[in-house]
Amino acid sequence: MCLTQGLDYLSHYLFDEWVEKNYLRQDKYKDKVARMKKSYTIVKWGLGIVFYSFTSTFAYILLKDSYYLPPFLGGSGSVFTLVKYRYL
C-alpha cells in the first residue's frame, strides 16, 4: 500500500463519522447514504487541500535556491539557464 493510500484510508476512518455528525445538516441530508457520501467527499477534499499545500510548500523550499528559478518566483536564477543546461 502506498503512503498516500494509507493516509486516505486513515483520514476516512478518523473523520467520516465526525463530519457526518457535526458538520452536515440533518434537514438537508435526511438519507443516511447521502450523508455518508457527502462526508466522504468533504474528508477527501480536506485531505487533498492539506496534502497538496504541504507538497507544494516542500517543493518550493527545495527549489527556491536553484539556478533556474526566476526572481519573480522567489529564486535567484533565470529560466534561460534551464535552456542552457537542459540535460541535467
In the structure grid, which three cell numbers stand for residue 47, read together? 485531505
Q: Per the domain annotation, does 35 fall within a domain? A: yes
Over the stretch 2-51, which tens digit does the pLDDT of each residue have? 888 888 888 889 888 888 888 887 788 788 888 888 889 999 999 999 99
Confirm whether 68 is domain-assigned: no
Split at pLDDT 50, 70, 90, the class of 52 is very high
Count of the separate structural domains present in the chain: 1
Q: How many helices (H) and strands (E) does the chain have?
A: 3, 0
At 35 the pLDDT is 84
Q: pLDDT tens digit string along 54-84?
A: 999 999 898 888 777 778 888 877 767 767 7
d(CA 11, CA 39): 11
| Residue at 81 is within a domain | no
Asked whether residue 54 is domain-assigned, the answer is yes
Look at residue 45 and tell me if it is in a domain: yes
